[in-house]
Chain A
Amino acid sequence: MRRRSAISQLLASVPGRLGLGLLAALTLLSLYVVATYPLDFGPARWSNPAVWSDNPSAVPPAWTNLLSRERRPVHQVVEAHEPSEVATSGPGETRVFELTFVQDADEPPTFLSFTLGEVRYAARPPQYALELVRPDGVRIPLAREVVTGPRPAESGPYVRYAQTPHRLLLSAERGLPEAIARALSSAYPEAANAEAMREALRTRPLAGLFGVPAADGSFELLPGRYALEARFAVADPGDVVSSVRGVAGGAVFGLFGTDALGRDLAEGLLFGLPIALLIGVLTSTLSTVIGTTLGLVSGFVGGRTDLVIQRVADVMNNVPVLPLLIFLVFILGSQLWLILAILVVFSWPGLAILVRSMVLPLRASPEVDAARTLGASTAHILRHHVFPHTAPFVFAQLIFFVPGAILAEAGLSFLGLGDPSLPTWGQILEQGFRTGAVFLGYWWWVVPPGLLIVLTAVTFMLLALGMETVVNPRLREP
């Protein structure tokens, strides 16, 4: 059967069409990842806690709000590069950056943080004060700082916070409960129980920051538009404050939620897709090529070559792969190429045995005899007169190998032996399992990676299913 008709057969069956559709979608997504993600995504971003410090840890996806009656706060990040207000004061300037966000959930944000990007100044370090301006007009002072000053023997202009931005976790500042208490008791003098309010603020400052005091010392949430105001006093108009960022921590995050380190699971899961496809397709291609070649040679050449190849294949085919994979990766180190190589070494033999059995009857076929009489070389005969007869079958095996390789790598990763520089779905699940996400009920951490593994594997299974009629013409229906 020729290649063209194999594909049209595939398209004629429902599983074949489904599989091709899914494969197209997965390939497009992978291309997107390859085009947009940095090559060192693993070490530079995924395994770098500093990148994720502004994210809430272990929170479910944002869309879960649609399913529950309670509205939990979404994660809000506001950035500003230009001040909203500039005023001259003496020789210098006052610049005000306003970061606004809306609080309309049934709980206050989980934290409030402020991050200062690169600052350049000529002589005197800028000072800044941070205030929260609430919808009821109350202003709560949050922090007051000076940019790090010149070091001895350093000369201007001075650059600060260029490599690592300066981050303040405002909701954990020591003076915050007192500042809230003072601001609220002057704005709401009728809330008489000041002592109870102070007590409540010590444990839950965020409730006070985003609420109105009630008579019993608790707080009622105050919805509306809040502004985090950063007021910079710079000594020289040429000084630069390049960026400020405010974060109101959510109790839900993005499309897939976060893990215990605050990592955006959507990002990690997406990165896992091309890796999984690479593992599957590369392993299956290599083992198919090796298996087919050895099978063709073994069946066609015969004699001692045949005997040796078949004996080796038989032994390799019967080695239990996972224990050996665990052992070898453990002793030799967990690198992806090594895992791939081991998988290839143990997966070609089955195909070599099968291809040989298909070649045996072809050896004496009239077609081969004719070619031989015409003086064709063995390599030529194998390529043009023997291989084409086995091609649909080999092609089906190529597809069938893919899910096996993906599952093997995932299993290995789950045992903690995955390549640490490349985050895979198996590793995300392993971290969830090891840190007890299963027992804490963090389903968003555990379910999606597995589902993606299943989806990818099923894609190739569907293709293999669609190939069944191609491989076994007897099934091509009455």
Chain B
Amino acid sequence: MTPSLLRPLLVRAASLVAVLLVVLVLLVVSLGATGFSERMLGAVIGEELRALRPALAQTITDPEALEVAVEARRAELESAYGLDRAWYERLPSTVLRVFTLDLGVARTMRATDGSNRIADIVLERLPPTVLLLTTAMAITAIIGLTLGVWLSTRVGSFADRAISYLASISYALPAWWTGILLILLLSFQLGLLPAGGMYSTPPPEGGLLRFLDLAMHAILPVFTLVLVSVGPYVYIVRSITLDVAQEEFVTLARAKGLPGRVVERRHVLRVAAAPIVTGLILGLTGSLGGSILVETVFDWRGMGRLYYDAIVGTPDEGLIIGLTFMFTLLYVVARMVLEVLYVLLDPRVRYEDAQTLRH
């Protein structure tokens, strides 16, 4: 990678790191200002003291001396965790705690191995979410690319108009409602597909059968996500390709008498490829939000469903903080991957800042 390629990437990386930092600080400030972080640390200290008491009781028999020893330890812990200082002085250490998902234990939720540590629970739910999101985005990209480029050569045709209507509807569809409709129709009315969950109960034995079972359960959630995101994406691809197709160098290529197909592939697509990644980048926030809701509807055991479970019933603040941070992290990582793709695809980035080109 040449330095000229590196520079725009570094700019984006800096901006994304700033996003992560802003979100972290926002999390920590709202936690501190509402007194929540104090309660969180208090619970951690209480936990440690409870574990300590029986150990101390073996060496100290006098109950009063025991109390004194426990209190001394409490004061020690409180100053170690910074509870004796104001929340804004504690900010850096709280940021670090959120960053490492060191958020204590969950109220009722457990990981499959029985651990109640928030880090364990959240990290266990990451792979299903990534699986759902990447599958849906890949399918959206393929459909969007094919359809969008095809439409850009037929502006104003019946298909173009029909699809711009469908794209509006697709954008207007709430992901979760679409999911509910599909469940009502395909699962309950027709009995074709499972209504929720990731595996049948009991899950089938054997790698291949297990995979097929997962695939069956993934069809509806993935289809829902694609359905609600593909419309706007087709539209973005169409508009961007159209813009490029109207530029002078394309007109020149056509004037030279090159066949339409060749112009499309060599001149238009070559330049449009990068903005098409932009389309995915713009849709990423939407897909992420969509996945939270879709997981909730389909009981897909990822981070999104965990969000819902942490909100309803007895709300679990630690989990919600951990999840908010993890979703931001997921977003930043996905963005970075797309940015690298973007820089690699567009030859012009080497001469200009990626920023000004995109808009």
- Residues of chain A touching chain B, judged by Cβ–Cβ distance below 8 Å, are 15, 311, 314-316, 318-324, 326-328, 330-332, 353-354, 357, 403, 407-408, 410-411, 414-417, 426, 429, 433-434, 438-439, 441, 443, 446-447, 449-450, 453-454, 457-458, 461-462, 464-465, 474-475, 477
CA distance A105 to B284 in the complex (A): 53
Further 19 A-B residue pairs, CB within 8 A, beyond A426-B174, A458-B172: A15-B168, A318-B19, A318-B331, A318-B335, A321-B285, A322-B285, A326-B320, A330-B320, A331-B34, A407-B174, A415-B311, A446-B180, A450-B178, A450-B181, A453-B177, A454-B173, A461-B172, A462-B168, A474-B246
Nearest neighbor of B189 in chain A, beta-carbon distance: A441
17 residue pairs of the A-B complex, CB under 8 angstroms, read A311-B15, A318-B15, A320-B289, A322-B288, A323-B307, A323-B327, A326-B292, A326-B307, A327-B320, A331-B317, A411-B293, A414-B293, A415-B293, A429-B177, A433-B180, A443-B184, A464-B168
Contact B184 A414 (CB under 8 A): no
Residues from chain A with a CB closer than 8 A to the CB of B22 are 315-316, 319
Residues from chain A with a CB closer than 8 A to the CB of B327 are 320, 323
CA distance A449 to B181 in the complex (A): 12
Residues from chain B with a CB closer than 8 A to the CB of A323 are 288-289, 292, 307, 323-324, 327-328
Nearest neighbor of A432 in chain B, beta-carbon distance: B180
CA distance A464 to B188 in the complex (A): 36
Given contacts A321-B285, A327-B324, contact A465 B30 (CB under 8 A): no
Nearest neighbor of B164 in chain A, beta-carbon distance: A465
Nearest neighbor of A346 in chain B, beta-carbon distance: B285
Task: State the Cβ distance, B316 to closest chain A Cβ, in Å.
Answer: 10
CA distance A321 to B155 in the complex (A): 33
Task: State the Cβ distance, A10 to closest chain B Cβ, in Å.
Answer: 15
Contact flags (1/0) for B175-198 with A, using CB distance below 8 Å? 111101101100010000001000
Cβ of B27 within 8 Å of any chain A Cβ, yes or no, is yes
CA distance A475 to B160 in the complex (A): 13
Task: State the Cβ distance, B322 to closest chain A Cβ, in Å.
Answer: 10
CA distance A403 to B292 in the complex (A): 19
Contact B292 A407 (CB under 8 A): no
Contact B184 A415 (CB under 8 A): no
Residues from chain A with a CB closer than 8 A to the CB of B165 are 15, 465
Cβ of B69 within 8 Å of any chain A Cβ, yes or no, is no
Give the most central of B30, B175, B183, B184: most A CB within 10 Å: B184
CA distance A477 to B181 in the complex (A): 38
Contact A415 B308 (CB under 8 A): yes
CA distance A319 to B324 in the complex (A): 11
Nearest neighbor of A327 in chain B, beta-carbon distance: B324
CA distance A447 to B184 in the complex (A): 10
Residues from chain B with a CB closer than 8 A to the CB of A331 are 30-31, 34, 36, 317
Within 8 A of A (CB), among B175-230: 175-178, 180-181, 183-184, 188, 195
Task: State the Cβ distance, B254 to closest chain A Cβ, in Å.
Answer: 15
Task: State the Cβ distance, B172 to closest chain A Cβ, in Å.
Answer: 3
Nearest neighbor of B26 in chain A, beta-carbon distance: A324
Task: State the Cβ distance, A435 to closest chain B Cβ, in Å.
Answer: 12
Q: Which 3 A-B pairs have the closest CB atoms?
A: A457-B172, A322-B289, A450-B177
Nearest neighbor of A310 in chain B, beta-carbon distance: B355
Contact A450 B174 (CB under 8 A): yes
Cβ of B312 within 8 Å of any chain A Cβ, yes or no, is yes
Contact B312 A416 (CB under 8 A): yes
Residues from chain A with a CB closer than 8 A to the CB of B315 are 330
CA distance A449 to B155 in the complex (A): 34
Contact flags (1/0) for B53-94 with A, using CB distance below 8 Å? 000000000000000000000000000000000000000000
**Which one of A354, A433, A475 contacts B359 once the chains associate, using CB atoms below 8 Å?**
A354
Residues from chain A with a CB closer than 8 A to the CB of B41 are none
Cβ of B2 within 8 Å of any chain A Cβ, yes or no, is no
Contact B184 A438 (CB under 8 A): yes
Give the most central of B26, B31, B284, B285: most A CB within 10 Å: B285
Nearest neighbor of A330 in chain B, beta-carbon distance: B320
Nearest neighbor of B287 in chain A, beta-carbon distance: A320
Contact A320 B285 (CB under 8 A): yes
Residues from chain A with a CB closer than 8 A to the CB of B31 are 331
Task: State the Cβ distance, B163 to closest chain A Cβ, in Å.
Answer: 11
Residues from chain A with a CB closer than 8 A to the CB of B171 are 403, 457, 461
Residues from chain A with a CB closer than 8 A to the CB of B284 are 320
Within 8 A of A (CB), among B284-312: 284-285, 288-289, 292-293, 296-297, 307-308, 311-312
Residues from chain B with a CB closer than 8 A to the CB of A464 are 168
Contact B312 A320 (CB under 8 A): no
Cβ of B321 within 8 Å of any chain A Cβ, yes or no, is yes
CA distance A201 to B246 in the complex (A): 80
Residues from chain A with a CB closer than 8 A to the CB of B175 are 411
Residues from chain B with a CB closer than 8 A to the CB of A438 are 180, 183-184
**Which one of B23, B36, B172, B312 contacts A403 once the chains associate, using CB atoms below 8 Å?**
B172
CA distance A324 to B321 in the complex (A): 9
**Which one of A324, A403, A450 contacts B180 once the chains associate, using CB atoms below 8 Å?**
A450
Within 8 A of A (CB), among B312-359: 312, 315, 317, 320-321, 323-324, 327-328, 331, 335, 355-356, 359
Give the most central of B172, B183, B293, B359: most A CB within 10 Å: B172
Task: State the Cβ distance, B39 to closest chain A Cβ, in Å.
Answer: 12
Give the most central of B156, B284, B359: most A CB within 10 Å: B359
Residues from chain A with a CB closer than 8 A to the CB of B172 are 403, 407, 453-454, 457-458, 461
Cβ of B16 within 8 Å of any chain A Cβ, yes or no, is yes
Contact A411 B174 (CB under 8 A): yes
CA distance A403 to B171 in the complex (A): 9
CA distance A330 to B317 in the complex (A): 8
Given contacts A323-B324, A323-B328, A417-B311, contact A454 B169 (CB under 8 A): yes
Cβ of B18 within 8 Å of any chain A Cβ, yes or no, is yes
CA distance A331 to B321 in the complex (A): 10
Contact B311 A330 (CB under 8 A): yes
Given contacts A328-B30, A331-B34, contact A318 B293 (CB under 8 A): no
Nearest neighbor of B168 in chain A, beta-carbon distance: A461
Nearest neighbor of A408 in chain B, beta-carbon distance: B289
Nearest neighbor of B332 in chain A, beta-carbon distance: A318
Nearest neighbor of B16 in chain A, beta-carbon distance: A318
CA distance A321 to B19 in the complex (A): 12
CA distance A477 to B157 in the complex (A): 11
Contact B311 A447 (CB under 8 A): no
Nearest neighbor of B284 in chain A, beta-carbon distance: A320
Residues from chain B with a CB closer than 8 A to the CB of A465 are 164-165, 168
Residues from chain B with a CB closer than 8 A to the CB of A461 are 168-169, 171-172
Residues from chain A with a CB closer than 8 A to the CB of B184 are 438, 441, 443, 446-447
Nearest neighbor of A462 in chain B, beta-carbon distance: B168
CA distance A139 to B242 in the complex (A): 79
CA distance A50 to B64 in the complex (A): 57
**Which one of B18, B289, B297, B359 contacts A321 once the chains associate, using CB atoms below 8 Å?**
B289
Given contacts A320-B331, A450-B181, A461-B171, contact A411 B19 (CB under 8 A): no
